[in-house]
Chains A and B, each alone.
Chain A
Amino acid sequence: MITRRDFCKKTMLVAGGLSLPLAALEIFDPKKLLAEKADKARVRWVFLVDTHKCVGCGFCVKACKLENELPLEANVARTWVERYVVTRDGRIYADTPNAGRDGFTNDKIALGLGKYQQVKKENIEKAFFVPKLCNQCENPPCVQVCPVGATYQTPDGVVLVDRSWCIGCGYCVMACPYGMRFFHPQYRVVDKCNFCYHRISNGMKTACMDACPFGARRIGNIKDPGDPVTKIIMRERVGVLKDEYGTKPQVYYLGLSKEVK
Chain B
Amino acid sequence: MVHGELWTVKEFFVYPNEYIYWSIQIVMYPFMTGLVAGAFVLSSLYHVFGIKQLKDIARFSLVFSFALLPVAMMPLMLHLQQPLRNYEVMATPHFTSAIAAFGIVFSTYAMIVASELWFVYRKHFVETALSLGRKTHKGPVEFFRYLLFSALTLGAYDVSGEALHKDEKAVKVLAGVGIPVACFLHGYAGFIFGSVKANALWMTPLMPVIFICSAVVSGIALCMLTYILTMEIRKFIVGWKRKRYPTLSSQEESQIKSVEAHVVNITSRYLLMFMILAITLELLDLIFRGYTAVKSWDILRNLIYGKDFTNIFILQYGLGNLLPFILFLLPRLTIKRAALGSMLMLMGVFMMRWNVVIGGQSFSSSFAGFMHYHLPLIPHDLETLKEGLVGALAVGAMPFILFWILAKIFPLFGEEKSS
Query: What is A's interface to B at a CB cutoff of 8 Å?
Result: 74-77, 80, 92-96, 98-99, 111-113, 132, 141, 143-150, 165-171, 173-183, 185, 188-189, 244-246, 261
CA A182 – CA B80 in complex, angstroms?
14
Give me 25 A-to-B residue pairs in the complex whose CB atoms sit less than 8 angstroms apart, sorted by A's number: A76-B17, A94-B366, A99-B16, A141-B198, A143-B96, A144-B96, A145-B99, A145-B196, A147-B97, A147-B100, A148-B89, A148-B94, A149-B92, A167-B81, A167-B86, A168-B85, A170-B79, A173-B17, A173-B21, A178-B15, A180-B17, A183-B2, A185-B2, A185-B3, A245-B197
Residue of A nearest to B197 (CB): A245
Q: 8 tightest CB-CB pairs across the interface, nearest first?
A: A168-B81, A179-B15, A149-B94, A261-B366, A147-B99, A177-B198, A183-B3, A182-B17
Q: How far is the CA of A148 from the CA of B203 in the complex (A)?
A: 22
Give the size of the chain B interface in residues (CB under 8 angstroms): 50
Q: Which residue of B lies closest to A190 (CB)?
A: B81
Contact A147 B21 (CB under 8 A): no
Residue in B76, B81, B102 whose CB lies within 8 Å of A188: B81
Indicate whether B321 reaches chain A with its CB closer than 8 angstroms: no
Considering the chains assembled together, what is the distance between the CA atoms of A137 and B1 in angstroms?
29
Contact A167 B22 (CB under 8 A): no
A147 pairs with B196, CB closer than 8 A: no
B298 at the interface (CB under 8 A from A): no
- Max count, chain A CB within 10 A of own CB: residue among B22, B81, B364, B366: B81
CB <8 Å contact, B92 and A183: no
B14 within 8 A of A: yes
Cross-chain contact B79 with A94 (CB below 8 angstroms): no
Other than the known A112-B9, A112-B10, A147-B94, what 20 A-B pairs have Cβ atoms closer than 8 Å?
A: A80-B15, A80-B16, A112-B12, A113-B9, A113-B10, A144-B96, A145-B96, A148-B85, A167-B82, A169-B76, A169-B81, A169-B99, A170-B79, A171-B97, A171-B99, A177-B197, A179-B17, A180-B17, A189-B82, A245-B197
Rounded to whole angstroms, the CA-CA distance of A175 and B369 in the bound complex is 18
Q: Is the interface of A mostly helix, strand, loop or mixed?
A: loop
**Cβ-defined contact, B15 with A170, below 8 A:** no
The yes or no answer to B159 lying at the interface (CB within 8 A) is: no
Q: Which residues of A contact B3 (CB under 8 A)?
A: 182-183, 185, 188
* Contact call A112/B365, Cβ cutoff below 8 A: no
Chain B 84-111, CB within 8 Å of chain A: the 1/0 string?
0110110011101111101000000000
Taking CB atoms, residues of chain A closer than 8 Å to B192 are: 171
Q: In the complex, A17→B366 CA distance in Å?
A: 60
Q: B297 → chain A, closest Cβ, in Å?
A: 14
Q: Are B366 and A176 in contact (CB under 8 A)?
A: no
Distance between Cα atoms of A146 and B99 in the complex (Å)? 8
Q: How far is the CA of A94 from the CA of B14 in the complex (A)?
A: 9
Binding site for A on B (CB under 8 A): 1-5, 9-19, 21-22, 76, 79-83, 85-86, 88-89, 92-94, 96-100, 102, 192, 196-199, 295, 361, 364-369
Residue numbers in B under 8 Å from A111 (CB-CB): 11-12
A29–B192 Cα distance when bound, in Å, is 33
Q: Separation in Å of the B37 CB from the closest CB of chain A?
A: 21
The one of A112, A165, A185, A261 that contacts B367, using a Cβ cutoff of 8 Å:
A261
**Closest CB in chain A relative to B189 CB, distance in Å:** 13
Pick from A94, A113, A145: contact of B368, CB under 8 Å:
A94
Q: Given A174-B196, A174-B198, A169–B80 Cβ distance below 8 Å?
A: yes
Q: Known contacts A170-B21, A183-B4, A188-B82; is A148 also within 8 Å of B88 by CB?
A: yes
The residues of A that contact B1 with a CB separation of less than 8 Å are 185
Return B110 CB to nearest CB of chain A, in Å: 19
A94 to B102: give the CA distance in the assembly, Å. Answer: 40
Cβ–Cβ < 8 Å partners of B10 in chain A = 112-113
A156 to chain B, nearest CB (A): 21
Chain B, residue nearest A163 (CB): B82
**Docked-complex contact B21 and A76, CB < 8 angstroms:** no
Report the Cα distance A166→B295, complex, angstroms: 33
B2 touches A76 (CB 8 A): yes
Q: Would A174 and B11 be within 8 Å (CB), given that A76-B17, A261-B366 are in contact?
A: no
Residues of A within 8 A of B199 (CB): 174
Q: Check B18–A75 contact: CB distance below 8 A.
A: no
| A101 CA to B295 CA, complexed, in Å | 30
Q: Beyond A166-B82, A174-B199, A179-B365, is A148–B16 a contact (Cβ under 8 Å)?
A: no
Q: Which of A149, A168, A174, A180 has most chain B Cβ within 10 Å?
A: A174
**Interchain CB contact under 8 A, B88 and A95:** no
Contact yes or no, B93 A148, CB < 8 A: yes
In whole angstroms, what is the CA distance A165 to B88 when docked?
A: 8
**A168 to B198, Cβ gap below 8 A?**
no
Given A147-B94, A149-B94, A174-B22, the answer on whether A95 and B82 have CB atoms closer than 8 Å is no
